[in-house]
Amino acid sequence: MKRHHIIKTILIFQALLIFASCKKALTEIPNNAIPTQDAIVDASTARAAIIGTYDAVQNYYASNYPTLGTITADNVIFNGTLSQYLQLDQNAIPPDNVITVAAYQGIYKAINSANSVIAYVPQVSDPLLTATEKNKILGEAYFIRALGYFDLGRGWGGVQLQLKPTTDLSALKGIKRSTLDQTYDQVLADLTKAEPLLPEDATTRNRAQQSTVRALRARLDLYRSQWADAENYATQVINNTKYTLVKPYKAFFTAPFLSTESVFELTFTANDKNSFWNLWYPSSLGGQFTLKPSDAIVAKLNNPAIGGTRNTLIAGSGTSVYGVLYNTSATSTDPSYVIRIAELYLIRAEARAQQGNLSGALADLNAVRNRAGVANSAAATQADVLQAIEDENSVEFAFEPHRWFDLVRTGRAGTVLGLTNQNYWLFPIPLSDILSDPDVTQNAGY
Amino acid sequence: MKQFYKRSVYLLFCVFFTLTAFAQTNTAPTIQSKLDGIVLDSLTKQPLPGAVVKIKGTTHSVSADADGKFNFVTGQRFPYILIVSYIGYVQREVIATGSPITIVLKENVGQLNDVVITGYSTQQRKFIAGSITSVSGNAIKDQPVTGFNQALQGKAAGVQVLSNSGVPGGGITLRVRGSNSINASVDPLYIIDGVFVSNADPVQTSLGNQEQSNPLSDLDPADIESIQILKDANATAIYGSLGANGVIIVTTKRGKRNTQAKINFNTYQGWSTAIKKFKVVDGPQTQELVNESKINTAKDGGIDPSTIVLPFANPASAPTYDRISSLFETAPSRNYEVSTQGGGETSTYYIGFGYLNQESIVKPSTYDRYTGRLNYDNYLTSKLKVGTSINFSRSFRNLSGSDNNPQGVINSALFPRSYLPIYNADGTYARYGSFDNQDALIANLNNKAVEWRTIGNFFGEYSFLPELKLRTSWSVDNGSNYENDYTNTLLAAGIATNGSAASYENKNTVLTNEQVLTYIKSFGRNKKHNINALIGNTINTVLSQNTTATGTGFATNSLTAISVAATKSGSSSQSQSKLLSYFAKASYTYNDKYTIDGSLRADGSSKFGVNKRWGYFPSGGVAWRAGEEDFIKKLDIFSDLKFRGSIGLSGNQNGIGAYAAQGLWTSGANYLDQPGTAPSQLANPNLTWETTRQVDFGTEFGILKGRLDFTVDYYNKYTYNLLLNVPVPYRSGFASYLENYGSVTNKGVEVTIHSINIRSNAFQWTTDFNISFNKNRIDKLASDITLGASGRNISILRQGYPINSFYLYKQLSVDPQTGNAVYQDVNNDGKITAADRQIVGNAMSNYTGGFTNTITYKGFDLGAFFYFQHGNKIMNMNDFFMIHGGTQANIGFVPRQLDRWTTPGQITDIPRLTTYSGNPTQNDGAANNYGGNVASLSSRYLEDGSFIRLKTLSLGYNIPTKTLNGIGISKLRLYVQATNLLTFTKYKGLDPEISSQSNNQNTAGYDWATVPQPKTIQVGASVTF
């Protein structure tokens, strides 16, 4: 009997030990993610990677970046409960303000995706990935990186330039903040690379094309006061028959979108929603009403001599006037409007005015005004024309992220918004970066 | 994985096959004598059902039945010696010379003689070197709470329990000896009848930042026999990587062999009401405050106030609409439980059914639960026992959002200004700002969650020798939560979409297989040497699966199925992780006095990096029963005296993702409806166990002949290699990196006192007291981590401070001359900037405890239980929002706003009303009163949350047995009970027992539009047939 026990015990424990030999048993693999080393290896993963890069741009352009460029200026005011919006409205932005943090983080996410595409796609050798398509993917990545650094530069000043994908944290060390000029130089370099790689067709408006690159180039040159270049690139885009100033004004923000007005917009779909409208609509219509048109812009839009048909940007009455640029409350499919052809007209108008070509400037300005059913501008002097362009920008892009950046770019935020402390013309670098990154320095005044 | 289970099944099959072969060799015995007997309590002369009577020198034993009676038909001749034992009584040897026989047992006062269930085995408390607290099922019964873990509040030293809200079945916070971790789980391991159960909140419907459910509510507390809480490393190290946060072992009721069937019926009906209700400023005063703010703002901006137009021309005539009254109700609850237990010669059973229904005092949350349990054991042979414990439950929740969800019921009632009508002129629901209408929500909220839960275990136990036993156990915890939400067009969230619906199916499955070989033997002269050893393994798989479907656009509100929605979308996900473990433990006791024990566990987890998957967790302990030494006995002070000490390591891997160590690109980063991928996680091949090293010194002693028992413990827990989401520069494209970095210390003292004040036949009075002190500190952290309150980052994790610290601007005063708030200028730069935010308090208590008095007199029993906690702070978010000085255009005021500064010389802590935003860095400047850099993140909203409360007061009466005999009832108790009858606190909100942001363990201590704890009166009856 006793011997049996011993044998049995030994048998059982031998059996138990079988488990120990199963090393594979501790390997679990997710079914909704791929290992980093397999991320870009063939045609389909390369395509997925550039799509993912656009998705990252969508993420910061859906609501965060447009909010930063609007509530901070005078067209949009805070009307909700969330103090992060109040902070932006009051231009008293702490470094942990979640909107600025999310935008900053989102932009670098897009840049990291673009960096990955730029680094790995050239190494892919897959007969299904033609040289043309490879170039297109690379060109799109360069464009997105340019857009990312441009959006960082105008918001936060010169930033740290990450040009390689992050696979290891040690590679981050030693990269300090660049100057704003260096950041914009990087944007220029990427745009220059992107232009020849990209295709151009007559219909695409939600992926980067040569004209998209030229349009951003025109804006970059405007921000850098390089008027001739700005005029030149704006002209190239305006002359492309793919783009027209649509009538009526509201056509560009009315479904099905992708109007000929659009140079670059980010499309959202029923499966990929953008519920930015929710921040604009009152709760009686299902929204949160955090962002509200200011009394001043409501008056301008309702004035036929200023707003014209742009009064279709607002709805409601009395104290509950609300903005309807983002209006697909049932489906949440509003696009993010990144570049419209109207902007190119106003860029060229400003560039021409700065170069003393007032009649050319007025022609462009009036093209935008006439489209909205507003009479020609009466401005006569250079200063008047520039002021008229500034005012036009404010109304034409009432709820798009232009006004704040324009006032900062032209140095008029102090005069117009009363924000005389120029430190606050830049957003703070996120607090967690200040704490975790020895290479970063905070913007002055924060 | 499949392979594993296949192998295990094969193995089990082999074992049983051989065992049954052995079992068949038994032969029928010859009958030599018959013995009838009864076992009684020496003092009360009450029968002791279940007492075990064994014939010495044989393996023949029987248990006493419900009347304490037993009988033997045996091959032994009279006289022979009977060994009679009963839990909680002194074991006796009695010589049986003939039948019948009456045996009386003396109750064993003094807790050291209890039998305690420890990791994978049972031990007598007197030999245990670890720190283990036991709570009997009786101590938690009849509480008007849904989960047994909630009922542990104040009952066990070292266990801190807080209900996060007053919602029935809602989430709770439970910590054993403080919070060990930052990003990994801080919940203890729960084991119910050998089943490792999941404590993950299965509810998917997002309705604010609160934990929606207490997953352990799926177990009926009435089924519980006892609960053991394993606290120190010596007790928990055997659970290795699962043990660092403590282990709570629940044992449910089982039948006893040879006992008559007993049927129990319990019921209660309860009524809950709000202790306090919200108060808001009425219409006229609200308008006056808004006007005043406008005037002050004009002055601050240098504008002549007489030139401005006031928002309200005639505040005195403003109406007031009461939104609060319709929010609250007297909430009924009812509970029914019926159970039967008993056992025959070879099998025992316990069968229980329960039904509980509770409503919330804030409409429209409800909870109801059906539970069923079967515990069955069968002694196939004298050596082989098989058994099962199965718990089925179905819980239903009608969910309602609150806290940071502006369209929650409480938010929609509390925040809108009181002069605004609830209904529009046309009778439709009126809405303001971001808020919904509370009447609309109460009538239309439709978020139904149904959780089916099966917790089951099958085991076989074979005794090779009386001292050598092999147990194999197969367990499953399968939770399936099915939610169907419909938001109709009468709710703000459904207006724009024309109705929206969501359906979630969430499955959580934990599979555990375990083999344990136990060797327990006493040998040597007088059995001086005592060995208790075991060796075993477990395979543990955790599988989580999720499917979601959503639809928007419905033809009418009566159509709610997603299949008929205009737009539909769906998604699914799953994750699986695995844990392989081997463990061994041995304990040696010499002469009943000296115990030394040690254990070792090796764990391999699929979650960790390929380089560091395996972790090893040793522990060791010593115990000395000084009370058994002659020199102590001579003192004649101690009825018992024991010292113990232990040290060991345990680990933690819960709460991190199943694939946390892998470098991954996530899919689903789509654009233009094309599939996209994006980098989502950096690889960390060195990711490994978070380890807790714990030292514990304890003493247990009794004085006054065991009338007064003390247990005192000191512990020091040091948790290092924290699984920490270390923030990384955003320019990397990532926000954080999970690595082993940082450490946390928890130190504390626990005291438990049990006192038998009076003990006579008719009158008994006992007092239980426990108090636990815990001091928590983050010793090492990569950098500050701020979080909480919807991006306001009011909570902070900072090196040198405890977890759950509050990070605010410290308001020193309101300048009596200007009426502006003055904050502490921490860096003395003359400005108020982000650098002046500081830690001003903490949500953790310095100490918590309970104080229970139980008096029985003849048939009456009276119980009073106080719970207390001290030293924690509460961030009153309701005040934060509703004392806004005019900055919140859509929010009303609480009465505390009326204390604002108005006239020079006035002393108050509420600054002057203004919305001026110029010069946001000025201290004692208008901008920072309610906006500016401070943005109301002022310490003026942080309050002391200490309280002591009469948690339960109960009065019961046992109908005398004589009266009952005629009607076939053996026992009948009637009682009335009050819960939360009295609360003593300085906290000015509704109730100090609250935690609104409980979805994240690092954001404790917020009170934010949350259902408060109710006051409950209940009447109940308990019948035994």
Arithmetic mean of pLDDT, A68-74: 95
Give me the percent of chain B exceeding a pLDDT of 90: 66
Which of A166, A100, A13 has its CA nearest to residue A443? A100
B436 with A283: Cβ contact below 8 A: yes
Closest-approach residue (CA) in chain A for B581: A20
Nearest to A267 among B672, B734, B927 (CB): B672
- Mean pLDDT for the stretch of residues B427-442: 91
What amino acid occupies position B890?
A: N
Q: Which fold does the domain B150-254+267-272+327-655+690-804+843-876+946-1024 belong to in CATH? A: Maltoporin; Chain A (2.40.170)
Q: Which residues of B touch A45 (CB under 8 A)?
A: 677
Contact yes or no for B127/B642 (Cβ under 8 A): no
Quote the pLDDT of residue B178. 93
CATH domain A40-270+335-423 topology: 1.25.40
Q: Which residue has the tokens 């408060």?
A: B1012
Task: Identify the pLDDT of residue B2.
Answer: 45
pLDDT band at B488 (very low <50, low <70, confident <90, very high): very high
The whole-model pTM stands at 0.86
Contact of B790 with chain A, judged by CB distance below 8 Å, is answered with yes
d(CA B435, CA B865): 40
Residues from chain A that touch B735, judged by Cβ atoms under 8 A, are 105, 432
Work out the pLDDT band at A12, boundaries 50, 70, 90. Answer: low
Residue B16: pLDDT above 60? no
The sign of the CA dihedral B301, B305, B307, B311 is positive
B3 with A267: Cβ contact below 8 A: no
pLDDT over 80 at A25, yes or no: no
Cβ neighbours of B663 in A, within 8 Å: 35-37, 167
Residue of B415, B675, B935 lying closest to A87 (CB–CB): B935
- Find chain A residues with C-beta within 8 A of B493's C-beta: 286
Return the domain boundaries, chain A: 40-270+335-423
From chain A, pick out residues whose CB is under 8 angstroms from the CB of B670. Answer: 51, 55, 271-272
> What's the gap in Å between the CA of B659 and the closest CA on chain A?
7
pLDDT in tens, A358-400: 999 999 999 999 999 999 999 999 999 999 999 999 999 999 9
Q: Helix (H, G, I), strand (E, B), or coil: what is residue B496?
A: coil
Q: How far is A388 from chain B (nearest CA, A)?
A: 28
pLDDT at B892: 95
Q: Kindly state the average pLDDT of the residues A305-315.
A: 96
Chain A contact for B569 (CB, 8 A cutoff): yes
What average pLDDT does this structure show over A80-98? 87
Residues of B in contact with A162 (CB under 8 A): 731-733
Strand pairing partners for B614?
A: B604
- How many alpha carbons lie under 13 Å from residue B950 in its C-beta half-sphere? 13
DSSP summary character for residue A150: H
A58: chain B residues, CB-CB within 8 Å? 671
Percent of chain B predicted with pLDDT > 70: 96
**Residues of A in Cβ contact (< 8 Å) with B671:** 51-52, 54-55, 58, 266-267, 272
Nearest by CB to B732, from A34, A112, A329: name it.
A112
Report yes or no: B781 and B724 within 8 Å, Cβ to Cβ: yes
Task: Name the residue of chain A whose CA is nearest to B411's CA.
Answer: A81
A to B CB pairs, distance under 8 Å? 309
Nearest to B253 by CA among B109, B122, B373: B373
- Would you say the CATH fold of B150-254+267-272+327-655+690-804+843-876+946-1024 matches that of B31-108? no
Please report which confidence band the pLDDT of residue A8 belongs to, taking 50, 70 and 90 as the band edges.
low
List CB contacts (< 8 A) between A435 and chain B: 727, 783-784
More confident residue, B101 or B802: B802
Mean pLDDT of B301-329: 93
Cα–Cα dist A154/B286, whole Å: 42
Task: Say whether pLDDT at B170 is over 80.
Answer: yes
Name chain B contacts of A277, Cβ cutoff 8 Å.
496
In this prediction, residue A13 has a pLDDT band, given cuts at 50, 70 and 90, of low
Q: What is the reported pLDDT for B24? A: 39
State the Cα–Cα distance between residues B350 and B467, nearest whole angstrom. 27
Cα atoms found within 13 Å of the Cα of residue B303, Cβ hemisphere only: 12
Residues 993-1012 of B with CB under 8 A from A: none
- Asked if the model's pLDDT at residue A24 lies above 80, the reply is no
Q: What percent of chain A has pLDDT over 70?
A: 95
CB-based contact B669 A56, cutoff 8 Å: yes
pLDDT at A18: 46
Amino acid at B972: L
As a whole number of angstroms, the distance between CA B307 and CA B299 comes to: 11
Interchain CB distance below 8 Å, A277 and B15: no
**Phi and psi angles of residue A165, each rounded to the nearest 5 degrees, phi first:** -65, 145
- Of B121, B226, B176, B157, nearest in space to B597 by CA: B121
Residue with tokens 């009050």: B978
Q: Are B1016 and B952 in contact (CB under 8 A)?
A: no
**pLDDT at position B824:** 95
Contact between chains at A8 and B577 (C-beta distance less than 8 A): no
What ipTM was assigned to the predicted interfaces of this complex? 0.93
CB contact under 8 A, B578 and A28: yes
Span B328-340, mean pLDDT?
A: 95
Predicted confidence at residue B985, as pLDDT, reads 96
CB contact under 8 A, B497 and A87: no
- Which among A54, A98, A172 has the least Cβ separation from residue B729? A172
pLDDT in tens, A404-427: 999 999 999 999 998 999 999 999
Report d(CA B992, CA B876) in Å as an integer: 10
At residue A7, does pLDDT exceed 60? no
Task: Render pLDDT for A330-352 as a digit per residue (tens, 0 to 9).
Answer: 889 999 999 999 999 999 999 99
Evaluate if residue B812 carries a pLDDT over 70.
yes
Give me the CATH topology for the region B31-108.
Immunoglobulin-like (2.60.40)
Residue B538 reports pLDDT greater than 70: yes
The whole-number average pLDDT for the span B24-41 is 69
Domain ranges of chain B: 31-108, 150-254+267-272+327-655+690-804+843-876+946-1024
Contact with chain A for residue B885, Cβ under 8 A: no
- B14 interfacial to chain A (CB closer than 8 Å): yes
Inspect the interface and report whether the beta carbons of B731 and A162 lie closer than 8 Å: yes
Mean pLDDT of chain B: 89
Q: Are the CB atoms for A318 and A282 separated by under 8 Å?
A: no
Is the Cα torsion angle B864, B869, B870, B874 positive or negative in sign?
A: negative
The answer to whether A275 and B493 are in contact (CB under 8 A) is: no
Query: For the residues B838-844, what does the mean pLDDT come to?
Result: 95
Coil, helix or strand at residue B935: coil
- What are the helix (H) ranges across A63-130? 64-68, 83-89, 98-120
**pLDDT at residue B636, as a whole number:** 86
Strands B873-876 vs B1006-1007: parallel, antiparallel or unpaired: parallel
Structural element, H or E, at residue A353: helix A341-354
Task: Identify the band that residue B8 occupies on the pLDDT scale cut at 50, 70 and 90.
Answer: very low
Residue B76 pLDDT greater than 80, yes or no: no
Comparing B22-36, B344-358, B1010-1024, which segment has the lowest mean pLDDT?
B22-36
pLDDT value at residue A361: 97
Q: Would you tell me how many other CB atoms lie within 10 Å of the CB of residue B43?
A: 13
**Residue B22 in this model has a pLDDT that exceeds 80:** no
| pLDDT band at residue A286 using 50, 70 and 90 as cut-offs | confident
pLDDT at position A11 is 55
Report pLDDT digits (tens) over B203-243.
888 777 888 899 999 999 999 999 999 998 888 888 877 88
Residues of B in contact with A53 (CB under 8 A): 676, 678
Which residue of A39, A55, A439 is in closest CB contact with B671? A55
Rounded CA-CA distance A283/B431 in Å is: 6
Q: Assess B433–A contact: CB distance below 8 Å, yes or no.
A: yes
What confidence score (pLDDT) does residue B11 get?
A: 43
